């Protein structure tokens, strides 16, 4: 069975939408991180799909750049979370109240 490229693109759009919705709706910081990862990987899926559809290997190599950046981002993000939550109990964004906005 062959799966048309458009299906992969559709999946990628759905993943991206789930991720974006998650960042905007969920209140747990770690879940928000995971949603950002979902968005980045949706982009990776789109890169690979386009790469196959255009018959151009470049798009698949771009995925490596995105993967490396995503890893670096998570390292820093988790570092910030650990630094903050040393002095508090849970990781809920609603508990932030020092800055109003």
Partner 1 sequence: MSPAHLLTAALSVSAVRGGTLSLPHIDYLTILPELIFLGGALVMLLHSALIRRTMDAATSTSWALSAATAALVASLVQWYEVSAHGPKVAVAGAVAFDGFSVFVTILVSSATLVAILISHSWLEREGVRGPEMQALMLVSAMGAMLMGAANDLIMVFLGLEILSIALYVLAAFDHRRPASGEAALKYFILGAFSSAVFVYGIALVYGATGTTNLPQIADFLSRNLLLHNGLLLGGLALLLAGFCFKIAAVPFHMWTPDVYQGAPTPVTGFMSAIAKVGGFAALLRVFVSSFGLLRADWQPAIWVIAALTLLLGASVALVQRDVKRMLAYSSINHAGFVLLGLQAATSRGVSDSLYYLFAYAFMALGSFAVVSIVGAKGDGNHRLDAYRSLGRRHPWLAAAFTVFLLGQAGIPFTTGFLAKLAVVEAAVEAHSVWLAGIAMVSAVVAAFFYLGLVRLMWAAPAADAPVAGAPAGAMASVGAATASMQPAERVSAGALASPVGTAAGQVSGSAAGSPAGAGSTSGEEAGSTSEETEEPALSTPLGVGIAIALCAGVTVVFGVIPAPLLDFAHQATLLIR
Residue 28 phi, psi dihedral angles, 5° rounding: -85, 130
Cβ distance to partner 1 smaller for residue 3 or 55: 55
**Would you count residue 3 as binding partner 1 (CB under 8 A)?**
no
Who's near 71: CB < 8 A, 6+ residues apart?
Answer: none
Cβ distance to partner 1 smaller for residue 2 or 87: 87
Pick the binder of partner 1 from 8, 20, 28, 34 (CB under 8 A): 20
Query: Residue 17 corresponds to which tokens in the numbers above?
Result: 């939408």
DSSP structural state of residue 94: G
**Would you count residue 11 as binding partner 1 (CB under 8 A)?**
no
Q: Which residues of 79-95 are buried (b: 16+ CB within 10 A; e: fewer)?
A: eeeeeeeeeeeebeeee
**Would you count residue 58 as binding partner 1 (CB under 8 A)?**
yes
Query: Rounded to whole angstroms, how far apart are CA atoms 53 and 38?
Result: 22
Binding site for partner 1 (CB under 8 A): 9, 12, 16, 19-20, 23, 29, 32-33, 36, 39-40, 42-43, 46-47, 49-50, 53-54, 56-62, 64-66, 69, 72-73, 76-77, 79-81, 83-84, 87, 93, 96, 98-101
């Amino acid at each position: 069975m062959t799966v048309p490229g458009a299906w992969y693109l559709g999946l990628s759009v759905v993943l991206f939408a789930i991720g974006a919705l998650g960042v905007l709706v969920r209140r747990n910081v770690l879940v928000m991180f995971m949603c950002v990862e979902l968005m980045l990987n949706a982009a990776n899926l789109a890169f690979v799909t386009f790469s196959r559809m255009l018959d151009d290997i470049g798009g698949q190599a771009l995925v490596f750049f995105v993967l490396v950046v995503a890893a670096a981002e998570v390292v820093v993000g988790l570092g910030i979370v650990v630094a903050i939550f040393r002095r508090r109990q849970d990781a809920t964004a609603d508990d932030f109240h020092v800055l109003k906005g």
